[in-house]
Structure 1
């Protein structure tokens, strides 16, 4: 088995949350922890934890940066986060993943190290989840430097990452809280069977 190398983590916690009614989605709590806190816990072991978005108290110890312009989308946010990355690998996560766990991120990291360029989680239908992945930082940085589009998929897909499928169980690791309805469903799932801390 390939050892997972040293890594930093970038969590995208900005955006306008239009589908979430404009509320501060990363601060919304499930099982007593803000969504951004669950994402940070999934990136446990990162040398640097970089949160891109408005300043917030959670997670403590994170490096907070803003995309330019604020709310400009995932590609500017990724570039802002990349500027703070020092490790050879980075884990890229959305801030609204209440069921993703550190051991699953570890599997992504190991897969990325085997592959060389990166690895991305695919959902139960086989669709890549571009905000759950591990990337070779110099390769991603070079691609971001020359990319002129606005789509995160347009930036990441040409790097040909390894697609990683993980068991779903009751809490699919790719489950994200894009809408108030999906957030309330996640709260019900967590209340019925509390997630581990």
Structure 2
């Protein structure tokens, strides 16, 4: 059965802040499962009409709009100021708001929020997990959100430094329980221990191949919902054969043995969709190999040790 289409919505991803509990690391650029936290958040909202990232410009797997929390480009003014900056760049009646440190948010989470926000009388919906609301994993109706931000600006003189919880009492919000596996969609990476927990969770036996295939498809730009052309690896030259075998080895050793043939298939599929030339195959191999190497490197803690020095 095909899924019902999502109602029109825009997305704002908050990707600023100093990450003091991570020793000043650039948190959205940290990887979980070989993908940056920012790209993992962006992967949950690919059908947004417009996606705005509030924070410093960073490389992303798909095109987005970047903006800052103030005209001067200053960062760290707080989540309300960041949300206001992103909202000013959007026009859709519904707004998805995401923090860029949620490694397990999925399209299913976003669809559940959109459905709840669309209920009669609702001005939005947010994920409720472990007894607390997660306002940075929510869908808001844009007009009530603009109204409340304007009232807070009038009351306090500015939005800078104000906590997001001030926004919630005056909005009629639906709570969407975070009922998935643990850690769930509302799990955020505030500390190195959180990052390690997230990296460990995606490597668990029951999830590792699904996580790897999702990451590989995102890295290669593959959508398997549509029928593609013939596999480009059928007549691969000897040099490409070696490269593919090297890739299969990296995937098998760094992820899991069944990842090797699955990854080789995705590389062929991506290269065929790109045109099927030898260079297309080499580029797909390069991307998949880099992903496998990032995935494997996460296990040795190199990133954390570098930040703590």
CA distance in 2, matches of 1:84, 1:34: 24
Work out which of the residue numbers 29, 32, 42 in structure 1 matches 2:31.
29
Larger strand share, 1 or 2: 1
SS in structure 2 of the partner of residue 40 of structure 1: helix
Work out which of the residue numbers 131, 137, 145 in structure 1 matches 2:136.
131
1:143 aligns with 2:148: yes
Per-residue CA shift, 1:138-190, capped at 9, x if unaligned?
11011112213601010133213111113131431111101111001101111
Q: Is the 8 A contact 2:148 2:170 kept in 1?
A: no
Per-residue CA shift, 1:46-103, capped at 9, x if unaligned?
0001100001111431100011241111011001100111111000000011111001
Query: TM-score normalised to the size of structure 1?
Result: 0.93
1:117 aligns with 2:149: no
Q: Is the 8 A contact 1:99 1:172 kept in 2?
A: yes
CA distance in 1, matches of 2:11, 2:111: 12
Work out which of the residue numbers 15, 37, 40 in structure 2 matches 1:38.
40
Structure 2 partner of 1:11: 13
Query: Over alpha carbons, which structure has the higher Rg?
Result: 2
SS in structure 2 of the partner of residue 64 of structure 1: strand
1:152 aligns with 2:164: yes
Residue 42 of structure 1 deviates from its aligned partner by 1.2
What CA RMSD, in Å, does the superposition of the two structures yield over aligned residues? 1.6
Q: Is the 8 A contact 2:80 2:164 kept in 1?
A: yes
Q: Is the 8 A contact 1:36 1:59 kept in 2?
A: no
Query: TM-score normalised to the size of structure 2?
Result: 0.60
Q: Is the 8 A contact 2:10 2:49 kept in 1?
A: yes
Gaps (5+ residues) in structure 1?
A: none
Gaps (5+ residues) in structure 2?
A: 215-309
CA distance in 2, matches of 1:170, 1:163: 18
- The number of equivalent residue pairs is 195
SS in structure 1 of the partner of residue 203 of structure 2: helix
SS in structure 2 of the partner of residue 121 of structure 1: strand
Alignment of 1:95-106 (within 5 A): 95-106=100-111
Larger helix share, 1 or 2: 2
